[in-house]
Structures are given as C-alpha cells and as structure tokens.
Structure 1
Amino acid sequence: MKLACLLVFCLLSVGSFALEVPNGKVVLVVSGVVSQQNRGKDAVFTMEMLTKLPQHSFVSRTPWYEKPVKFTGPLLRDVLAAAGAKGEKISAIALNDYRVEIPFQDLIKFPMVVARLLDDKPMAIRDKGPLFIVYPFDAYEELHQDIYYTRSAWQLSKIIVQ
C-alpha cells in the first residue's frame, strides 16, 4: 500500500504547473487535497482548460450504448495532476448528486478518461455529458465487472480528493 501511495504521489507530481484563472463557464471543480488552486481552495476547469491537457481516445463497448463508441478527453490522472491532487481515493460527483468513490490505484492501473467527446462530438447533459469518467473497458478484460461500471461517473461536475 505504501508503494502504491508513493507511485501515485510521483505520478501526480510530474508535470504540475500553476493552473490558469478560468475564463468562461466552469465545468469541473476539484476540491479536497489539491495544491494548484485557482478559485478559493479549489482547482476549477473550463472546457477550454480541459482541452489544453493531452487528449486521449479509445473505442469501447459499454452497458450504456448499443454499439462501441469513441470517447475522447484528458486522462483522469492528468486532470488530477493539473490540480496537484494527492490522496488515496476520489469521490466523483455528478450533476444529479450521484457519488462514487474511485481508488487512486485505478488511476495507476488504467488510462481512464474524463470524456468530453462522444464519437467526436461534445456530449449534451441528456447524453451523459458534458463530462464522463470512463474506463477503457475493451482494453482490459477485468474491467467488464459491475464495480468498474459503477465507478464510471457521467454528468461529472465535481471531484473531491481524499
């Protein structure tokens, strides 16, 4: 466990930079144990700020769509690194107050994205947007389990780092 925490610390310490002041509508608030604050004690992101992070895409089958779909966005670990997050888990909170805990170990093991595009188009709220934490289900057989499906948070609006 100590090794995992050290790896997470190293992972999230690399590439830290001062967050810019948001100019536009905030779509994601990261609070809790964060060192890169740009609004009070929080690290906040506009969609433009999220698009400036390295973007990753994958195509995967999910329980929510009839056919494989393409998800695009920054890696969750990159968003947390930009916020200077340090902890053992996060709580991902949706617009409807759905809340799920995700262990930092998942961030090390899997390249989860904070998807902002679905099949190369912005996601509307009615389509699980504007942000959706998604695991690369088809890339890892072990992810085809309910525990990982429930950790995928759509309509993401806030992350609390613990």
Structure 2
Amino acid sequence: MLAGALPVVASRAETEPVVLEINGRVPASRRFTLADLSALGITHIRTSTLWTDGIRDFEGVLARKVIEAAGVPLTGKVVARGLNDYTATIPLSDFLDYDVILAWSMDGVPFTRRDKGPLWIVYPRGAHAELADERLEHRWVWQLAWLTLP
C-alpha cells in the first residue's frame, strides 16, 4: 500500500470503500464512496486527452456537485491530490465554467489504481477549444483521492 494512501473506510452501508475525501474549509471532512458520488448524478463526457487515443467516453460526477455536496461555495481554489501524491491547484471557477467531472470509468471500464483510478479529473476539452491548451493539462489529476479547500 502506498504511504499516505486513502484509508479504506466503509460507507454508511458498511459495504463500499471511500474513494474521495474533501477537507479544508468545509464544515466537516466529507468522505464519498462511488455510490455516494453516483447519487449526485452521473454525467458523461466524450473527449480526447493527451494520455489516450481518440475520443473516449468518460463517466463520472460533475465536480461542482461534489463541492456543493460538501457544503462549500465554489469560490477560490482547490488542491487536488492523487494516491501518487501528485497535486494540482485548480481554480473552482473551472468547475462552474465547464462541466468538469470526477470520472470513475472510461468507455464503460472502471478505473483501477493501476490505471488512473479511483477517480480522474476530466475536462470537456472536446466541447471548448480553450481547454485543449496544454498548459492546463496539469489539472487532469488521476488517482484522485483528496480535494483540499485552502
């Protein structure tokens, strides 16, 4: 197990592991299972990435819905951190301006920890030419497990 990896904590139903924790300026740290995230609404994005071939279908939840569910206004920024300790600071305005998702599958295949899972931040770059800017690619955090609101 990776040092500092997200602990496997049972959900309210005691059946599913936590895949995302939101902390920082939240009323209380929030932990989400895939079922919790799915309950917020499932969204698909068909887009290309620098790391995959062709147009792919990503399934996940809108990032803004997750932040709102944590009880935090969409102002300021968020620090996204993966299980591999990669971090990126992302303006929360991205989540308002674009349908950014926290994806858990690509082309119907769930992500694993070996393949960008449990979650991958995916931007709808196919729908917005300005998102194809390579200077924004660092925001596509994979193995996402934490969002910290400073």
Which TM-score tier does this pair reach, normalised by the shorter chain? Answer: 0.7 to 0.9
- Tell me the percent identity: 35
3-state SS of the aligned residue for 1:129? coil
- Gaps of at least 5 residues in structure 1 are 1-19, 36-40
AA in 2 matched with 1:125: R
3-state SS of the aligned residue for 2:142? coil
Superposed, 1:1-162 pairs within 5 Å as 21=12, 23=14, 24-35=16-27, 41-86=28-73, 87-162=75-150
How far off its partner does 1:51 sit? 1.3
3-state SS of the aligned residue for 1:67? coil
Pair 22,96 (structure 1): closer, same or farther in 2 beyond 3 Å:
farther
- Write the distance in 1 (CA, Å) between the matches of 2:112 and 2:12: 25
In the alignment of these two chains, the number of paired residues is 138
AA in 1 matched with 2:138: T
- Structure 1 or 2: more strand by fraction: 2
Segments ≥4 residues shifted beyond 2 Å: 20-24
- Structure 1 or 2: more helix by fraction: 1
Q: CA RMSD in A?
A: 1.4
How far off its partner does 1:95 sit? 0.3
- Write the distance in 2 (CA, Å) between the matches of 1:48 and 1:95: 20
3-state SS of the aligned residue for 1:150? helix
- Gaps of at least 5 residues in structure 2 are 1-10
3-state SS of the aligned residue for 1:132? strand
How far off its partner does 1:129 sit? 1.1
Pair 22,98 (structure 1): closer, same or farther in 2 beyond 3 Å:
farther
